[in-house]
A and B are shown apart, each in its own frame.
Chain A
């Protein structure tokens, strides 16, 4: 056996069929996803793709998606950090009910959630908000609100597991070293949670970029007004402009791949300085 050569994997008798079954499932699923991407590539004329990407409509959709997803992610993280910490660290009556309510947006259909928001803005309270504060229905702020409602639950779930994994002993030591509870949270827990926070922000942002159901219901699908990338796919497919739709799909795939690369890099380092 020479250096640099991979060593053969010795399988204990009886384990081979099990291992083969698992590897087959793995291969099938990878082939399915790869096949979808390859089929998109074969369908695409690359000159048309580049031209489409540079069209004003798609550039608008890219810009709108990036801006709305970034804003909704910022709001979602601001809301999720204290909520996730509270659920992770405090015991209170009705905690499981609160936990279930906060999880609802993860499991409920996004269209149902969008419709519920739309109904809310038809109630007196909703109408007052629309008339006196800010207009959400069929407007850009509606996109942000729809994304926020969907992705905050995800951010809370991700951050809760991050806070759960931090030994409370660190915060206790921080307190004996002169920190108030708030200061210990800011100077001990948040730095310890740094990777989890970044990972949660990336996943939340990626989810917000791809949000469609609640957005289309609350903010509508108006070309170059509330046209995010998923809505652009919907609108172009509706008008049978498949090449444009495919171009947008490629953009979403590229964004997802970049997000996943970032996530992998973060999960491979603990507490980067």
Chain B
């Protein structure tokens, strides 16, 4: 378990102030915040790369605040991976195993295991400069995991990857976490990434922690305006009647509309849906009627790159967002009837 108590760190003009966090064993903990919030500084402080001005960092009951990085037993994957360009893939993976009284056989076995786990077996002799972004990320992970760390620190690990690779690697990271059970702290500014990966998450802004909780808590009950601004204002629908329709699905009555959802332990009281997760169409879209509704545009608010629409559906006023150019192409006006599709997998249940 990692306990961060009243941690304050100064780096240049930036300060982390009174950070209190607790990360449980085998937990996948995400730190979410905008650029410049202090996420990386916090991660680097945990790695021992910055001197703490005040507060303590405890790992498994040991005070690690003044322990140098090489003795903290942490695996660190920086944002740009920082693979050593003068070493091959295998050289990078074995870097942390040198001088640790490991025999050649032990090192080889470890490399083979990690290469198999991270699908790197046919890349071991490659020059790291010739790898793709996703391959580099997996090599950086293997290098960090080679020393059997107590905790894995990932700084924006998917930030520089294309959408498709990032999506695949999100699944890979979760699989790896479940297989190895290493406590992981993952820093990101990407809300979807945080929401998909986190067991629990902390929202950080301007060097302070704004809120800590499971993603549902944060989405349904943002404690401050900063958090609400960061995660965006979701549509929250109150659901009164829920009935099972088989195949692991339920039908929930939420303000006069019936929404089909996956079966959820503990019942469904509220549904949160972000404006960006509602498709709008001026004409009736083809395909099954699942989670598709008709509504009337009540208000149109233009922003710099997108347009926000308020649409009355049943008794609900739903906010939906459209990229500005698409909105202009569709020529939607106030009072017009439109069709809405709710993205089933993006619905959050409370």
Contact = CB atoms under 8 A, between A and B. Distances in A.
Interface of B: 44, 47-49, 68-70, 72, 74-76, 78, 80, 82, 84-86, 95-96, 98-100, 143-144, 147
A45 interface: no
B68 A178 contact: no
A176 B47 contact: yes
A173 interface: yes
Contacts of B96: 177-178
Interface majority SS (helix, strand, loop, mixed), chain B: loop
A169 to B, nearest CB: 4
7 contacts: A172-B76, A172-B78, A173-B143, A175-B49, A176-B72, A178-B99, A180-B68
A169 B72 CA distance: 17
A78 B51 CA distance: 30
A270 B128 CA distance: 13
Contact of A177 (B49, B68, B85, B143): B143
A259 interface: no
Interface of A: 167, 169-170, 172-180, 183, 187-188, 191-192, 194, 270-271, 273
Given A169-B80, A172-B49, A178-B96, A191 B70 contact: no
Contact of B47 (A167, A172, A180, A187): A172
A191 B86 contact: yes
Contacts of B95: 174, 177, 187
Nearest to A188: B84
A170 B69 contact: no
Contacts of B49: 172, 175-176
A4 B49 CA distance: 54
Given A172-B49, A192-B86, A270-B85, A178 B76 contact: no
Kindly list the 3 A-B residue pairs having the minimum CB-CB distance in the complex, ordered from nearest.
A177-B96, A176-B76, A175-B69
B44 A172 contact: yes
A270 B85 CA distance: 9
B97 to A, nearest CB: 8
B137 to A, nearest CB: 14
B147 A178 contact: yes
Contacts of A271: 85-86
Contact of B74 (A176, A188, A194, A270): A176
B86 A167 contact: no
A191 B91 CA distance: 13
B147 to A, nearest CB: 6
